[in-house]
């Protein structure tokens, strides 16, 4: 588990990317192509080919014998998750159960999502991975989204402000190291308001769970959070001043 | 025999006789090109120690084998001459981008030597082999942008113009040349042009640049852009989390992201979006430099990013601010980068600028206003030193300024404008600086000379203060010095006779990657302890000296090849699949593919080091002493003065230990094979780099160490 993952406190299961050489990833490519252009992709799937055959047959036989192509449920689920990932979003288990992909029942979704934990996972879902948040499990396509981003995005969706700020501040303080500026938290993807941040600052002072989270203010008045587990005040002060003021004066 | 990469020719322009000649440049190939070639020409043709504006002083522009080859960021030019603004008037280089280098090369030249002095204002128009001397009396006194417009109109489409403004004409030490109404080459170059009555140079070339292995160059371009290049300063991590990224760092110049636009783009805002590695057509959206330099307010005024020829990064923020014309009567179209984007700090001369449309836009308008005025005048800032000096003398109700100006001069200025948000104060100050008879010009001589003249007033404080921020008391501004990898950054500054021009190290420390990743990669190359954590440094060691040497060797290599050191070297990569490790062999691969000479990484490093050996020897000659340690490499006091409550060698400071600085110099000198006590080249080292003639020269003047 990476340093960031350890600090950020989100338990997660990241599926390793396929070890197959790129040239062999035809299945993934076909799926990606299909997600992007379903009509074209359907022409090359077995199911679609069968459907086409069925249509040919239909012209010759009675209409009541027309067979519905069987829905590829794992593929439908994959498409929904993939589409979200392409929009730089993760999707929660709750959301998927509450609004199952078309043609799937809640039970189908439950079974498919549960299969991601075991060896029986369908081929169509091999790129799907997830992070466990405090309130939910969040799914995404690991071939185009990093676990880091998925963690951040999911945490933001869970709207546990103190947990989010503390997790990011601990990670920033340890990893880079740097102080997590209010500016960072007010920008995408966090989009917190100044009032929220000032409120959090006050609540951190009262919470034993977050007793290591403190603020420092640069000479331009911009505040930032840091963790005393990793930075002393003097160190945090110097780093924050450099990021907020020094860097701008010494471009 | 066909010459690849180099054109094989140099152009000599004599302004006294208004003649020109074409000569072979091949004897300078071993200096690579650009800075290396220009420095050697200056050494060969200009006596060290003379007045930089003496009639026999010369200015040399040089491009390199890579210039106009299509290599990314290869459109850079070096201009070498004697410094008018730092101690000893030793060799300095101005570095300039835009299109001028490509045009010089396509005219068929590796270098252009400008010698003599014209009797009357002139501009020189070079169209391949044809060189015209054009009367510039009507342009004298005009701004750089007006001059560029008029010369552009009078010459062929595609001509690149390099001009001076009133600052250079009036022989101000801190003046520059500007090309493309945006790209500035400083170090006092404007003064040397002004002394020669050379208002502008214009180049329009039609010749092909021959490459030894076109396919290899194309493959290298694809590799560099796809796998190695991040954003400006090769920052390989975006400022905000993107779905493909493992890290984000607000200090990065990879500013573009979904939701951030070029807000004033033709046809409507363009989203800068995600630009993951491996998408070459999106790389130009990564560096939203107007926002980086001015803050979020600049987004809606941003037309696009612009930059130097063959650069996919484009670090110049092009903005259009119609409110400036409405409020201040100044056409608000401008492009520049870094300090130049805020008028080199001249915006800071005026406070309380009223907002126009929204909260905070007054300060932004001031930045653009100052940038336009400073560029038009062709003023140069010595990396912010000029504005800092003016503020220093204006502090405490103009306490020192009153002692610099005559009573009449002082009373003629409406000082209240400064505090009352009146931007025309900037015009008033610039007018004083460009007036050959005004005493305020003494504050634009360069800090070393300001101190010499006003030491009785300012005592030891001025030159040593953090407010002025010099790396050394010889007058060079700190530029990615001790605040960047502590001793390593500061040591790189000492190589220059101006502000530290090396970006190699800051490209690493500012990359945005976590420290542990930076450390792993850097220690792999230079050994344990080479890179400290930010603001948490340890005592000097030999590996830091190696790392510092690498920094300057690569910078010199880049300015010689040419490649932009604001992006190169490719120490890191944005690709997680590579473990973020870049490739330091690419420069040598380019050199081989472009010129056809099979050059190894080590050989090219040695060639660049040779240029440093030469320029250090030139500095010794200019100073007339070989005691570089005490006469050249002395840190400004603030660098070795601990901050209150932030002890040395504890997390929280980048201030250096005075004793450790001396050890650092000794180790650095050792790396270069210099006399470890004096810091000057030895005969053995010069001969190792095939510079025996330079050793003889030093010896004849008693400047070789015993
Ligand atoms: S990064 Fe900036 S300075 Fe360097 S070549 Fe590109 S535009 Fe020019």
Q: Number of structural domains, chain A?
A: 2
Quickly list DSSP for B651-692.
TTB-PPPHHHHHHHHHHHHHHHTB-TTT--B-HHHHHHTT-H
Segment A185-204 shows an average pLDDT of 97
Please report which residue ranges of B239-295 form alpha helices under DSSP H.
Answer: 289-294
Q: Are residues A126 and A211 in the same domain?
A: no
- Probe residue for ligand 1, chosen from B290, B308, B341 as the CB with the greatest number of ligand atoms within 8 Å: B308
Residue B527 Cα distances to A167, B520, B609, angstroms:
33, 9, 20
Segment B634-662 shows an average pLDDT of 97
* Inter-chain CB proximity A249 and B384 less than 8 Å: yes
Segment B574-588 shows an average pLDDT of 98
Round to whole Å and give the CA distance between B552 and B648. 26
B295 at the A interface (CB within 8 A)?
Answer: no
* Inter-chain CB proximity A242 and B338 less than 8 Å: no
Q: Are strands B130-135 and B122-127 parallel, antiparallel or unpaired?
A: antiparallel
Round to whole Å and give the CA distance between B271 and B261. 4
Query: Domain ends where: A133, A153, A173?
Result: A153
Q: Tell me, what's the pLDDT at A204?
A: 98
* CA neighbor of B130 nearest in space, from B11, B15, B41: B11
* CA neighbor of B22 nearest in space, from B128, B180, B167: B128
- Answer left, alpha or beta for residue B62, where phi above 0 means left and psi between -120 and 50 means alpha: beta
Q: What is the pLDDT of residues B115-161, one digit of tens each?
A: 999 999 999 999 999 999 999 999 999 999 999 999 999 999 999 99
**How would residue B42 be classed by pLDDT, with cut points 50, 70 and 90?**
very high
Q: Give the HSE-up count for residue B440: Cα atoms under 13 Å, Cβ half-sphere.
A: 27
Q: What is the pLDDT of residues B649-701, one digit of tens each?
A: 999 999 999 999 999 999 999 999 999 999 999 999 999 999 999 999 999 99
CB A229 within 8 A of CB A170: yes
Q: What is the pLDDT of residues B352-381, one digit of tens each?
A: 999 999 999 999 999 999 999 999 999 999
Q: Are residues A208 and A232 in the same domain?
A: yes
Q: Are residues A85 and A149 in the same domain?
A: yes
| pLDDT at residue A32 is higher than 50 | no
| pLDDT at residue B342 is higher than 90 | no
Round to whole Å and give the CA distance between B47 and B41. 11
Q: Tell me, what's the pLDDT at B340?
A: 86
Q: Is residue A30 part of a domain?
A: no
Answer whether CATH 1.50.10.100 is correct for domain B9-204: no
Segment B191-206 shows an average pLDDT of 98
| pLDDT at residue A183 is higher than 90 | yes
Q: Are residues A206 and A186 in the same domain?
A: yes
B533 at the A interface (CB within 8 A)?
Answer: yes
Least confident stretch, A4-13, B11-20, B222-231, B418-427 = A4-13
Round to whole Å and give the CA distance between A103 and A94. 17
Q: Is B298 exposed, middle or buried (0-12, 13-18, 19+ CB in 10 A)?
A: buried
- State chain A's mean pLDDT as an integer: 81
Round to whole Å and give the CA distance between B574 and B566. 16
Residue closest via CA to ligand 1's atom 7 equals B307
Q: Tell me, what's the pLDDT at A230?
A: 98
Residue closest via CA to ligand 1's atom 8 equals B308
Q: Are strands B198-204 and B122-127 parallel, antiparallel or unpaired?
A: parallel
| Neighbour count for residue B288 (Cβ, 10 Å) | 26
Token pair, residue B695, equals: 């050793």
- At B668, phi and psi to the nearest 5? -65, -45
Round to whole Å and give the CA distance between B272 and B270. 6
Q: Are residues A11 and A114 in the same domain?
A: yes
- State chain B's mean pLDDT as an integer: 97
If you measure CA to CA, which chain A residue comes closest to B577?
A17
The atom number, within ligand 1, closest to the CA of B566 reads 4
Q: Which residue has the higher pLDDT, A13 or A220?
A: A220
Segment B236-247 shows an average pLDDT of 98
Query: Domain ends where: A136, A153, A170?
Result: A153
Q: Tell me, what's the pLDDT at A37?
A: 34
Q: What ipTM does the predicted assembly reach?
A: 0.95
Q: Tell me, what's the pLDDT at A68?
A: 78
Q: Are residues A202 and A145 in the same domain?
A: no
Q: Tell me, what's the pLDDT at B344?
A: 87
- Probe residue for ligand 1, chosen from B316, B339, B561 as the CB with the greatest number of ligand atoms within 8 Å: B316
Residue B324 Cα distances to A126, B183, B318, B332, B363, angstroms:
56, 22, 15, 5, 12
Question: What distance in angstroms lies between residue B178's CA and the mean position of ligand 1's atoms?
Answer: 15
Please report where in the chains the tokens 């960021």 appear, as a residue: B73
- For the whole model, what pTM was predicted? 0.92
pLDDT > 70 fraction of chain B, expressed in percent and rounded = 100
Which among A176, A234, A251 has CB closest to B515? A176
Q: Tell me, what's the pLDDT at B468?
A: 98
**How would residue B339 be classed by pLDDT, with cut points 50, 70 and 90?**
confident
Q: Are residues A126 and A235 in the same domain?
A: no
Q: What is the pLDDT of residues B514-542, one digit of tens each?
A: 999 999 999 999 999 999 999 999 999 99
**How would residue A45 be classed by pLDDT, with cut points 50, 70 and 90?**
very low
Q: What is the DSSP letter of B264?
A: T
* Inter-chain CB proximity A231 and B479 less than 8 Å: no
Taking CB atoms within 8 Å and a gap of at least 24, the contacts of A196-205 are A196/A161, A197/A165, A197/A223, A200/A161, A200/A162, A200/A165, A201/A225, A203/A162, A204/A162, A204/A165, A204/A166
Q: Is residue A138 part of a domain?
A: yes
**How would residue A42 be classed by pLDDT, with cut points 50, 70 and 90?**
very low
**How would residue A65 be classed by pLDDT, with cut points 50, 70 and 90?**
low
| pLDDT at residue A139 is higher than 70 | yes
Segment A134-161 shows an average pLDDT of 98
Spell out the domain ranges in chain B: 9-204, 253-429
* Inter-chain CB proximity B241 and A152 less than 8 Å: yes
* Inter-chain CB proximity A146 and B243 less than 8 Å: yes
**How would residue A62 be classed by pLDDT, with cut points 50, 70 and 90?**
low
| pLDDT at residue A126 is higher than 90 | yes
| pLDDT at residue B313 is higher than 80 | yes
Q: Which domain holds residue A216?
A: 160-249
Q: Which of B184, B250, B344 to mutate to test the interface with A (most CBs of A within 10 A)?
A: B250
- Answer left, alpha or beta for residue B225, where phi above 0 means left and psi between -120 and 50 means alpha: alpha
Least confident stretch, A1-10, A93-102, A160-169 = A1-10
Cβ of residue B315 lying under 6 Å from some atom of ligand 1: yes
Q: Tell me, what's the pLDDT at A64?
A: 60
Token pair, residue A40, equals: 């074209």
A91-92 β-sheet, strand order: A12-13, A128-132, A137-141, A91-92
Q: Are residues A105 and A164 in the same domain?
A: no
Q: Are residues A149 and A170 in the same domain?
A: no
Q: Are residues A93 and A7 in the same domain?
A: yes
Q: Are residues A182 and A102 in the same domain?
A: no
* Inter-chain CB proximity A235 and B536 less than 8 Å: yes
User: Does B329 sit behind a cis peptide bond, omega within 30 degrees of 0 on the bond before it?
Assistant: no
Segment A208-212 shows an average pLDDT of 97
Q: Is residue A29 part of a domain?
A: no
CB B132 within 8 A of CB B75: no
User: Does B295 sit behind a cis peptide bond, omega within 30 degrees of 0 on the bond before it?
Assistant: no
Round to whole Å and give the CA distance between B549 and B543. 10
Query: Domain ends where: A153, A175, A198?
Result: A153
CB B633 within 8 A of CB B472: yes
B251 at the A interface (CB within 8 A)?
Answer: yes
| pLDDT at residue B71 is higher than 50 | yes
- Probe residue for ligand 1, chosen from B180, B288, B313, B561 as the CB with the greatest number of ligand atoms within 8 Å: B313
Task: Give chain B's count of helices (H) and strands (E).
Answer: 26, 17
* Inter-chain CB proximity A247 and B251 less than 8 Å: yes
| pLDDT at residue B91 is higher than 90 | yes
Q: What is the pLDDT of residues B22-32, one digit of tens each?
A: 999 999 999 99
Least confident stretch, A5-14, A192-201, B379-388, B630-639 = A5-14
Segment A110-123 shows an average pLDDT of 94
| Neighbour count for residue A209 (Cβ, 10 Å) | 10
Q: Are residues A119 and A223 in the same domain?
A: no
Q: How far A206 CA lies from chain B's nearest CA (Å)?
A: 27
Q: Tell me, what's the pLDDT at B343?
A: 82
Round to whole Å and give the CA distance between B267 and B273. 17
């Amino acid at each position: 588990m990476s340093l960031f993952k350890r600090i950020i406190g989100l338990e997660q299961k990241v599926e390793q990317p396929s070890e197959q050489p790129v040239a062999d990833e035809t299945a993934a490519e076909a799926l990606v192509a299909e997600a992007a252009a379903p009509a074209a992709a359907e022409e090359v799937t077995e199911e679609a080919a069968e459907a086409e055959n069925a249509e040919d047959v239909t012209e010759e036989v009675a209409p009541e014998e027309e067979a519905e192509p069987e829905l590829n449920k794992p593929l439908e689920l994959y498409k929904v998750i993939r589409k979200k990932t392409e929009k730089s979003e993760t999707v929660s288990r709750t959301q998927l159960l509450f609004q199952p992909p078309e043609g799937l029942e809640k039970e189908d979704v439950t079974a498919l999502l549960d299969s991601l934990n075991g060896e029986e996972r369908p081929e169509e879902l091999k790129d799907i991975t997830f992070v466990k948040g405090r309130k939910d499990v969040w799914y995404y396509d690991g071939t185009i989204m990093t676990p880091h981003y998925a963690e951040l995005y999911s945490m933001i969706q869970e709207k546990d402000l103190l947990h989010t700020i503390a997790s990011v501040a601990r990670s920033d303080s340890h990893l880079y190291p740097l102080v997590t500026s209010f500016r960072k938290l007010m920008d995408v993807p966090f989009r917190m308001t100044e009032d929220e941040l000032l409120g959090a600052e006050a609540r951190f002072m009262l919470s034993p769970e977050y007793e290591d989270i403190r603020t420092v203010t640069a000479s331009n008045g911009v505040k930032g959070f840091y963790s005393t587990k990793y930075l002393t005040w003097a160190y945090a002060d110097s780093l924050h001043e450099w990021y907020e003021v020094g860097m701008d004066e010494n471009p | 025999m066909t010459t690849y990469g180099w054109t094989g020719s140099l152009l000599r322009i004599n302004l006294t006789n208004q003649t020109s000649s074409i000569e072979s440049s091949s004897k300078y190939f071993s200096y690579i090109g650009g800075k290396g070639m220009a420095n050697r020409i200056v050494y060969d043709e200009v006596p060290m120690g003379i007045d930089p504006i003496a009639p026999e002083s010369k200015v040399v522009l040089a491009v390199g084998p890579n210039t106009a080859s299509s290599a990314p960021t290869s459109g850079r030019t070096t201009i070498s001459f004697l410094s008018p603004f730092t101690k000893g008037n030793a060799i300095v280089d101005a570095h300039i981008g835009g299109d001028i280098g490509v045009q010089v090369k396509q005219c068929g030249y590796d270098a252009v030597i400008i010698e003599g002095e014209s009797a009357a204002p002139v501009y020189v128009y070079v169209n391949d082999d044809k060189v015209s001397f054009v009367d510039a009396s009507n342009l004298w006194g005009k701004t750089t942008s007006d001059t560029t417009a008029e010369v552009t109109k009078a010459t062929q489409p595609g001509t690149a113009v390099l001009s001076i403004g009133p600052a250079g004409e009036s022989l101000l030490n801190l003046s520059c040349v500007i090309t493309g109404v945006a790209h500035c080459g400083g170090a006092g170059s404007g003064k040397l042009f002004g002394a020669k009555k050379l208002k502008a140079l214009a180049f329009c070339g039609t010749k092909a640049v021959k490459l030894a292995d076109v396919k290899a160059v194309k493959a290298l371009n694809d590799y560099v852009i796809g796998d190695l290049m991040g954003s400006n300063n090769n920052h390989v991590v975006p400022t905000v989390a993107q779905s493909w990224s493992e890290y984000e760092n607000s200090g990065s110049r990879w500013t573009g992201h979904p939701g951030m636009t070029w807000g004033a783009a033709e046809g409507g805002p363009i989203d800068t979006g995600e630009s993951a590695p491996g998408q070459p057509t999106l790389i130009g959206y990564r560096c939203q430099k107007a926002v980086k330099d001015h803050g979020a307010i600049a987004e809606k005024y941003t037309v696009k990013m612009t930059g130097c020829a063959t650069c996919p990064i484009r670090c110049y923020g092009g903005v259009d601010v119609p409110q400036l014309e409405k409020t201040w009567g100044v056409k608000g179209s401008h492009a520049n980068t870094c300090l130049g984007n805020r008028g080199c700090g001249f915006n800071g001369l005026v406070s309380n600028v009223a907002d126009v449309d929204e909260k905070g836009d007054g300060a932004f308008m001031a930045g653009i206003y100052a940038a336009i005025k400073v560029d038009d005048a062709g003023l140069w800032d010595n990396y912010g030193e000029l504005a800092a000096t003016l503020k220093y003398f204006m502090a405490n109700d103009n306490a020192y300024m009153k002692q610099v100006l005559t009573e009449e001069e002082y009373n003629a200025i409406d000082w209240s404008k400064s505090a009352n948000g009146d931007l025309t104060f900037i015009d008033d100050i610039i007018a004083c600086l460009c007036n050959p008879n005004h005493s305020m010009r003494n504050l634009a001589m360069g800090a070393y000379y300001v101190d010499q003249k006003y030491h009785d007033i300012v005592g030891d404080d001025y030159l040593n203060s953090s407010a002025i921020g010099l790396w050394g008391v010889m007058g060079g501004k700190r530029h990615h010095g001790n605040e960047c990898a502590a001793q390593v950054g500061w040591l790189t500054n000492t190589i220059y006779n101006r502000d530290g021009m090396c970006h190699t190290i800051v490209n690493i420390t500012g990359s945005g990657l976590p420290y542990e990743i930076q450390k792993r990669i850097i220690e792999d190359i230079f050994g344990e302890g080479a890179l400290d954590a930010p603001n948490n440094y340890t005592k000097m060691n030999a590996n830091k000296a190696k790392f510092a040497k690498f920094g300057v060797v690569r910078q010199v290599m880049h300015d010689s090849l040419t490649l932009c050191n604001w992006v190169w070297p490719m120490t890191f990569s944005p690709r997680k699949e590579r473990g973020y490790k870049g490739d330091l062999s690419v420069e040598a691969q380019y050199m081989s593919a472009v010129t056809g000479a099979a050059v190894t990484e080590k050989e090219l490093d040695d060639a660049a080091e040779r240029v440093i050996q030469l320029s250090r020897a030139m500095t010794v000659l200019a100073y007339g002493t070989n005691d570089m340690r005490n006469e050249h490499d002395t840190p400004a006091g603030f660098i070795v003065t601990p901050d209150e409550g932030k002890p040395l060698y504890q997390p929280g400071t980048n201030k250096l230990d005075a004793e450790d600085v001396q050890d650092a110099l000794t180790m650095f000198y050792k790396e270069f094979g210099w006399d470890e006590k004096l810091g000057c080249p030895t005969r053995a080292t010069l001969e190792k780099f095939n510079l025996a003639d330079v050793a003889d020269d030093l010896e004849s003047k008693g400047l070789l160490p015993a």
